[in-house]
Structure 1
Amino acid sequence: MDSNSEVLDAARAALPGWELLVERYSRLVWSVPRSFRLSYADAADVYQCTWLCLAEHLTRIRQPERLGAWLIRTATRQSIAVVRARGREVPLDRWEPESSLPAPEEVAVTNDRQRRLWTALMTLNERCQRLLCIAAHSPDLSYAQVAEALGMKLGNVGSTRSRCLAQLRRKLEGQL
């Protein structure tokens, strides 16, 4: 079974298609929560939730060729939900001396740098946003996997990435 359509049909029929889907997209799905720097346990939860969502929506997938993008989008949404939930938690390690905390000015500079980067990134088109996020957080993915996940031609990944990085660089320089 080569095409996503065949694999999805087999998975819907409870044939070995599900195992093929997991084998084919496991690294891609796993890379998304790890790109959010979630703990291993949180990333594993996101990974499982993503596959559960696919199982629940298996009969509603209308564009099998876009399955990689669907999985990335679902894992991203799950990861963002975890990040938001964890952002409300205030970890407190009573054994760590307070001197190990960064100085307020370091926090301010780091926050400002991150805000400017994300602001500039969000002004790019969706394709560039997704491509740069995958490139930054999942460098071990091959161009073929990135092309499939984003619905691009394999030969366009490198040049599109270069153009997107150049646009991002110009936008960041314009913020200074």
Structure 2
Amino acid sequence: MRWSGLGLALGFAAFQMWVEVAVAMLVALAQVVAWRHRLPICWEAAVSAACMIAAVSSFLLLFERFPWWDIPVHVTVTGVLAVLVAHVVRRGVPSPRAIVVTGAVLAVVWELMESAGARWVDSSIYVAPADTALDIAAGVTGAAAAALLWHRTGRAERRRARPAR
């Protein structure tokens, strides 16, 4: 899965689908950062899968076809990206609090990018105030869930690493 974002971008480029190429390159960026910063393999796979699902969902117009689809994508993608960014910033040892704060910042930035996209790229992007607030809440919820999972998996790994007495 490590290079699937780049493969997706090349496929879109072959058909001159430039907005989709840009989205796929963001997926590729997340995949490379997760790999190069040695995110644990289960988290690297989660980042890759979540970002690919979001990109393909956009291409297949799932957000337009199923209005509720936006929420699980915000929960999942913001959660795994919060772990990734906090892992990079904190050099491999993010606290649950750092993950949640990072997720909140990412959720707000995501919504600002949606607003910019609606204004300058595609006016069909839905940016109503209630949707924006719900998306931010979903992102923070995802970051909190990811922080809990990160904390629990880290604790389990530390227990396994202890020598037996």
Q: Tell me whether the two structures share a fold, i.e. TM-score over 0.5.
A: no
**TM-score of the superposition, structure 2-length normalised?**
0.30
Instruction: State the structure with bigger RCO (CA 8 A, min sep 6), 1 or 2.
Output: 1
Between Structure 1 and Structure 2, whose CA radius of gyration is higher? 1
